[in-house]
Amino acid sequence: MILKELIKGLKTRQILAPKDVEILGITYNSTLVQEGFLFAAIDGEKTDGHNYIDSAIGNGAKALLVEKIPRSLSEDIATIEVEDTMSSLARVSANFFGHPTKHLTLVGVTGTNGKTTTAYLIESIWREEGKNAGVIGTVEYRFSGKSVPAPMTTPESLDLMRMFSEMRDSGTQAVAMEVSSHALDRKRVLGCHLDAAVFTNLTQDHLDYHGTISNYFEAKKKLFTEILRESEKKDKFSIINFDDPYGREIAKLTAGKIISYSIKKGDASVYPEKQSINSEGIWSIVQTPWGKVELDSRFFGQHNLSNILAAAATALTLGSPISAVEKGIQKLTSVPGRLDRVENSVGMTVLVDYAHTPDALNNVLNSVRPFTPGKLILVFGCGGDRDSTKRPAMGKIARTLSDVLIVTSDNPRTEDPELIIDQIEKGIFEVDFDERPYFRMPNRREAIRKSIEIGAEGDTVIIAGKGHENYQIIGTKKLQFDDKKEANVALVEKQKSGNNA
């Protein structure tokens, strides 16, 4: 693409010629620059791309996207100076790949909890409808028979547009995309033409990055006030959880027609008239503007009823038939790492869940309590180098709602695991101690085995925090570790030993 076409619509401070140079590719990583590429110098969280301009030029860059002009620069290097390279990279990437999201049905799902489950449910509905559908999110990026593990919830703008381009070219018709607060803050989804934006909820998370809950909300809000507003789709919609006060605030500001949902009969346009939640799952007759819908799911818990309503409301809004909604929700029986059952023959219910916020942990524990005839055993920890203020809150919830508590390590990263547990215990010790057992076990493998060892028939074991992740980050090393596999090994050992009591 000729440079002047590539930067069309871009707000620039100055452009140093030549503008007619042909650009063969784009990258923000100087080591990936090839002959004829444009290099975008992004001022990132850990390093500043402007420090690698010489390296990029040495590797063949013919154009630069920068926030500050280098002191010495060859005249044959085209340089575009902008106020913000992150947002500019997103717009340039959309131009380079021909605005692929204009040719896809695109739903963006944001919120603290429920994004993954909601996105998977929407995809399942679309598949029942016969659409070639895909998902971009925390677990994986999946479309047209291709699936890759997700290194981050929402890819960088260049990688995202490249993926959308592949989707368009491979015949993908519809995509459900999780949109993180980091992605919104760092402008990764600028240039995405949404058909609908979904808000699930907002509770404490990522304060290590955003600083305050107010800043966190401001980032989430951008999906509705900026991204959806800029979308060039003819019809666009906001699907909003009216059970959440932040959702009602977004409804006052958002672009597009509002479709609200609620697990209670109130002023929302989508809500259950009848509902039953038990150990077998969720059943509900749901009132919608398109008629009544019968929803039957293997998921359980009120938080999952909310996710189901979000998915149903989104699909119906975008034209899916009621029959596809009913079948799609019924067919999806699990989501990786979300109350994910570990099958066993010892009579215990063992669940692996991604819950890593106070609200998510509270939801999971309250969801399984009514269906646990025996003890509720919880294994959890908190991640290192992340929001430390939620640790005491999670400790208090864990102690209050479990019968047996085992606190362990999550991904301690560069923090001392013992100090992380010390902070969790501040909340634990706010709760009056009784005869309920508490174990402090920093080794996660040993903690999981302990939970299975002390469990008996009728007990429920919840292993929380890491969900689908198949690794543990200790220091700067990423080590192989899978909660579900570890639990399965412990269950096999328990079965062999005959220790089922």
Judged on CB neighbours under 10 Å (0-12, 13-18, 19+), 225 is middle
Kindly indicate the confidence band of residue 279, based on its pLDDT and cuts at 50, 70 and 90.
confident
Q: What is the pLDDT of residues 41-70, one digit of tens each?
A: 998 778 899 999 999 999 999 999 999 998
* 202 closest CA partner among 185, 221, 187, 184: 221
Q: Give the pLDDT score at 486.
A: 98
d(CA 81, CA 67): 5
Pair of tokens at residue 8: 């069309």
Q: What is the pLDDT of residues 173-196, one digit of tens each?
A: 999 999 999 999 999 999 999 999
pLDDT exceeds cutoff 80 at 433: no
Residue ranges in 10-156 assigned as alpha helix (H): 53-58, 85-96, 115-128
For residues 440-454, average pLDDT: 98
The answer to whether the CB of 412 falls within 8 A of the CB of 383 is: yes
In this prediction, what percent of the chain has a pLDDT beyond 70? Answer: 99
Kindly indicate the confidence band of residue 500, based on its pLDDT and cuts at 50, 70 and 90.
low
Kindly indicate the confidence band of residue 434, based on its pLDDT and cuts at 50, 70 and 90.
confident
For residues 291-306, average pLDDT: 96
pLDDT exceeds cutoff 60 at 8: yes
Kindly indicate the confidence band of residue 501, based on its pLDDT and cuts at 50, 70 and 90.
low
**For the sheet containing 293-297, what is the strand order?**
271-278, 281-287, 293-297
Give all domains of the chain, ordered by start, each with its CATH number. 3-96 (3.40.1390.10), 100-331 (3.40.1190.10), 340-497 (3.90.190.20)
- Cβ atoms within 10 A of the Cβ of 407, count? 24
The answer to whether the CB of 284 falls within 8 A of the CB of 268 is: no
Pair of tokens at residue 144: 């047209």
Q: What is the pLDDT of residues 262-275, one digit of tens each?
A: 999 889 999 999 99
* 134 closest CA partner among 187, 97, 171: 171
Q: Give the pLDDT score at 295.
A: 98
Q: Tell the residue number behind the tokens 């799952």, with chain if given.
A: 281
In this prediction, what percent of the chain has a pLDDT beyond 90? Answer: 91
Q: What is the pLDDT of residues 328-368, one digit of tens each?
A: 999 999 999 999 999 999 999 999 999 999 999 999 999 99
Pair of tokens at residue 253: 């500001």
Rounded mean pLDDT of the chain? 95
Q: Give the pLDDT score at 73.
A: 77
d(CA 323, CA 338): 25
Pairing state between β 281-287 and 293-297: antiparallel
d(CA 346, CA 494): 8
pLDDT exceeds cutoff 90 at 205: no
